[in-house]
Amino acid sequence: MAAESQGIDPIHQFNINRLFDLRLGGVDASFTNASLFMLIVFLAITALMVLSTTGRHVVPTRLQAAAEMAYEFVASTVRDTTGDAGMRFFPFVFSLFMFVLFSNLIGLIPGAYTVTSQIIVTFAFAALVIGVVLVYGFYKHGTHFLHLFVPSGVSPALLPFIVLIEIISFVSRPISLSVRLFANMLAGHITLKVFGGFVAMLLGAGAYAIISPLPLLAITLLTAFELLVAFLQAYVFAILTCVYLNDAIHPGH
């Protein structure tokens, strides 16, 4: 009975379970299923980017070609958005993109845990991005970085409002960045689970079992859609990171 209700409860998949307990200086640092899948994501990226490129083939193997494609894709995104000066952030954006992408994709495997479906994880990434923007912006431009909030060519009467709007827009960035990714992953997985629950319920409902293939078909289509979302959200996350970093590199509109 317990297992059956678990199967239909769409929220259960987001539960975090301690695999073994660990405390560091009074802080809970237990290794959980979320940590396990972070580690799996890390190992998968390592396998793609490090192990597949050990041969350094001039004519690439399939995996090496995939690694090169990922490299060139992110590199062109960073260069197009931030210019050559932004290429110093390329490893950062690349790590972010790959981690988010692999978390999203691995999360789609039935039974796997989706690391990015936790608001704390996406918020940590967003805060990291904004932190890097702030630190680099002030380090590179000093107080000139504050010109980001003062667009040129605005009439003095409107300036206070514009500055206020700019500040609100800047502050809301980490929130929108983290909630967008988190909510997309959460909603997609809940939808998949709900439709999966429909299949199970219809199968157990006597004559209605005959229409149970319909939600199954819906799951198939939704899974394809979720694959798109998984890639798209990773890309959106990476490109917004680039846009924000571009503000730190070239402040002032």
Partner 1 sequence: MAENASHDAHTTGTQAPGGAAEHGSSFPPFDTEHFSSQLIWLALIFGALYLLMSRVALPRVAGILKDRGDKISGDLGAAKAAQAKAEASGVELEKTLAEAKAKAQGMGQEAHARLAAETETKRKALEGELNAKLAAAEAQIADTKAKAMSNVETIAKDTAAAIVEHITGKPADPQKIAAAMANAKA
Which residues here bind partner 1, judged by CB under 8 A? 2, 6, 11-12, 14-19, 22, 24, 27-35, 38-39, 41-42, 45-46, 49-50, 53, 56-58, 60, 64, 67-68, 71-72, 90-92, 94-95, 98-99, 115, 117-121, 124, 182, 186
State the nearest-atom distance from the C-beta of 82 to partner 1, in Å.
16
Rounded Cα distance between 104 and 248, Å, is 28
Identity of the residue, 19 or 171, whose beta carbon is nearer to partner 1 in the bound complex: 19
Q: How far apart are CA 23 and CA 246, in angstroms?
A: 39
Q: Measuring CA to CA, which residue among 125, 120, 127, 124 is closest to residue 16?
A: 120
Integer Cα distance of 12 and 15 in angstroms: 5
Q: How far is the CB of 228 from partner 1 (least distance, A)?
A: 22
CB of 51 to partner 1, least distance (A): 10
Q: How far is the CB of 237 from partner 1 (least distance, A)?
A: 13
Compute the radius of gyration of the chain from its Cα atoms.
22
Q: How far apart, in whole angstroms, are the C-alpha atoms of residue 252 and residue 70?
A: 31
* Closer residue to partner 1 (CB): 61 or 220: 61
SS3 222: helix
Tokens 């700019």 belong to residue = 166
Write down the residue that tokens 């979302």 correspond to: 229
Shortest Cβ 113–partner 1 spacing (Å): 11
Q: How far is the CB of 19 from partner 1 (least distance, A)?
A: 6
Question: Which two tokens mark 27?
Answer: 């802080």
Whose tokens are 């789609």? That residue is 108
Do residues 182 and 119 touch, judged by C-beta distance below 8 A?
A: yes
Nearer to partner 1, 41 or 148 (CB): 41
| Of 59 and 228, CB closest to partner 1 | 59
Among residues 137, 111, 80, 101, the alpha carbon closest in space to that of 234 is found at 101
Q: Which is nearer to partner 1, 89 or 145 (CB)?
A: 89
Q: For partner 1, which is the closer residue by CB, 25 or 153?
A: 25
